[in-house]
């Protein structure tokens, strides 16, 4: 199955804080058809990319993870990622769960991307 008209190839697909939108079959086709042209940015503990719950919905593989220091990473090892998520959750000791909402606005993504340019 092809998702894209061959004469109208997209230069790239960029998402920022996107919820899970695919079943496993659709995600696999997107990963194949848009390889090296899909970029899914997730800012640390942003709650939106964690919804709706798995396994009914999933993401494509093209993750770009923004860590608590604002660094954009192409991958994040499991233990390092868990430590970074904990660091984000404990950044505001008076409202630890607020990090899940604070990380979602697109301006937070833009700030991180601008920081990584220089």
Retrieve residue 35's tokens: 């390889």
Provide the number of structural domains found in the chain.
1
Q: What is the pLDDT of residues 72-84, one digit of tens each?
A: 999 888 889 889 9
For residue 76, tell me if it sits in a domain: yes
46 lies in a domain? yes
Domain residue limits at 10: 6-117
Query: Residue 2: pLDDT band by 50, 70, 90 thresholds?
Result: low
| Domain assignment present for 1 | no
Residue 94, Cβ density class (10 Å: 0-12 exposed, 13-18 middle, ≥19 buried): exposed
Asked, for residue 52, whether it belongs to a domain, the answer is yes
Q: What pTM, to 2 d.p., does this model score? A: 0.84
d(CA 85, CA 97): 11
Sheet holding 13-16, edge to edge: 13-16, 38-43, 63-66, 72-73
- pLDDT digits 0-9 by tens, 57-116: 999 999 999 999 999 999 888 889 889 988 888 887 777 678 888 899 999 999 999 999
């Amino acid at each position: 199955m092809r998702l894209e008209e061959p004469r109208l190839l997209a230069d790239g697909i960029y998402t920022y804080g996107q919820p899970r939108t695919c079943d496993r079959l659709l995600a696999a086709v997107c990963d194949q058809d848009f390889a090296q042209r899909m970029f899914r940015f997730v800012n640390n503990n942003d709650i939106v990319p964690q919804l709706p719950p798995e396994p009914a919905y999933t993401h494509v593989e093209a993750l770009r993870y923004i860590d608590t220091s604002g660094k954009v990473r192409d991958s994040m090892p499991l233990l390092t990622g868990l430590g970074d998520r904990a660091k984000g959750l404990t950044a505001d000791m008076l409202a630890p769960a607020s990090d899940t909402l604070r990380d979602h606005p697109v301006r937070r993504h833009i700030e991180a991307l601008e920081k990584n340019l220089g």
